Copies of this chain bind each other. A is one copy, B any other.
C-alpha cells in the first residue's frame, strides 16, 4: 500500500531521508490479520480493542500453518505486524493532547522508521492444518500484514523484577 504522506504537524521533526526507501533487509508477509476494524473505527489501542469484546483472526499464507503446532488456546502470543500506511521519516512527533513533541522511540505511534506493531494477545482457537488462529482482540485494521508470532515469555517480555 502506498504510504499516506501526512503533512508534518507543528512540533514534528523530519529526518533528512526516508527510511521507507531503505532496503537493509527484506520481510516476508506470513499472513494477514482479519479484524472488524477499518481506518474510521479502529480502537485507539489494544486495551480499548479488548473492551469492545470483538475478537479477531490470523490467517496464514500457504505453508506456514505447521508453525502453529505446539501453541494452545488460552496461551498468550506476541503478534508482530506491519503498519506501513504512514510516513516513516518523523523522528519527533507532537502527540494528541500533549504540549511538547517527543521522540518517536518514546512513543507507540505507528509513524516510525520501521512501522512494526506489537500486540500481546490470547489465543481463543487454533487450526494449524488450516493456518488459522482466533485471538481475543487486536487494534490493527482488517488486512494488516503479519510478520511473526512468538509465545509470550515473562523472562524476555517483561521488565525484570515485576
Contacts and interface: CB of A to CB of B under 8 A. Distances in A.
A30 interface: yes
B92 A156 contact: no
Contact of A158 (B106, B114, B158): B158
Given A92-B67, A114-B27, A114-B30, A155 B45 contact: yes
Contacts of A16: 63
Interface residues of A, number: 68
10 contacts: A23-B26, A25-B26, A25-B27, A30-B113, A46-B155, A67-B92, A80-B118, A112-B148, A136-B160, A158-B158
Given A26-B26, A68-B106, A108-B153, 13 more contacts: A15-B63, A20-B28, A23-B27, A24-B26, A25-B82, A64-B105, A64-B113, A66-B92, A70-B106, A78-B118, A116-B116, A118-B150, A120-B157
